[in-house]
Amino acid sequence: MCKAFNINNIHMKVILIGATGIIGKIILSELKKYEHIQVVTVSRSGGTDIRADISSLDQIKEMYTRVGSFDAVINAAGDCWVGSFNEMTEDNWYIGIKNKMMGQINLVMVGKDLINNNGSFTLTSGFISDDPIKGTINYSVANGGIDNFVFAASIELERGIRVNAVSPGSVVENYDGNMNTPATGQYPVSHSRIAHAYYKSAFGYLSGQVFRVWESSTQYIRK
């Protein structure tokens, strides 16, 4: 790109939640390449700059207080309940609702008043809402909630603030060619494509989008 048109080299402080996970590590290693990007890493159990659990509203508030001024939030965290739908209880539903769904929504709810002008929020949903796998219905519903949340929230946010979701396909750390996994036969998405989607969401121009990063040869694309 011609340097004159590259407006992306101003200093930015980015909060990366879930930085120790499979996807978080991919994002972190990409962001570290750019001198103008300062990353504050977050997880529950440590090995990061800050410990915080996004399922707790108080801990989200404390996290933002500790970070101070910031330009972007990238969340690659959020657990759900895993198990058979036939044995699922109502309480099991609330695990994903509280953690993956409300945790991410609260990051935006609280963060929208604190983030710098023209800042961005990037949330994580996932292919399971469009291409379901047995035993992960809690993920399907939480992911669908996040995809719809970013669409609706984008028209409410002010001061040039953007919000998007990245919906990754199957992402694994070291692919060994074994197709007999819960995501039967799906070809894992490359780490590079994952990194590009999060970068585009956080530092690009669009808002209210779901960037689906799927391996088109094997992932079912719901019409």
Ligand X SMILES: NC(=O)c1ccc[n+]([C@@H]2O[C@H](COP(=O)([O-])OP(=O)(O)OC[C@H]3O[C@@H](n4cnc5c(N)ncnc54)[C@H](OP(=O)(O)O)[C@@H]3O)[C@@H](O)[C@H]2O)c1
Specify burial of residue 96 (Cβ count, 10 A radius: 0-12, 13-18, 19+).
Answer: buried
Minimal distance, residue 119 CB to ligand X, in Å: 20
CB 118 within 8 A of CB 210: no
| Binding stretches for ligand X (CB under 6 A) | 17-24, 43-45, 52-55, 76-79, 99-100, 103, 124, 126-127, 139, 168, 170-171
- Cβ nearer to ligand X, comparing 161 with 210: 210
- Cβ nearer to ligand X, comparing 186 with 207: 186
| Cα 156 to Cα 26: distance, rounded to the nearest angstrom | 30
CB 206 within 8 A of CB 164: yes
- Cβ nearer to ligand X, comparing 12 with 63: 63
- Cβ nearer to ligand X, comparing 162 with 191: 191
- 45-57 per-residue burial string, b: 16 or more CB within 10 A, e: under 16: eeebebebbbbbe
Minimal distance, residue 3 CB to ligand X, in Å: 34
Minimal distance, residue 101 CB to ligand X, in Å: 10
Minimal distance, residue 17 CB to ligand X, in Å: 5
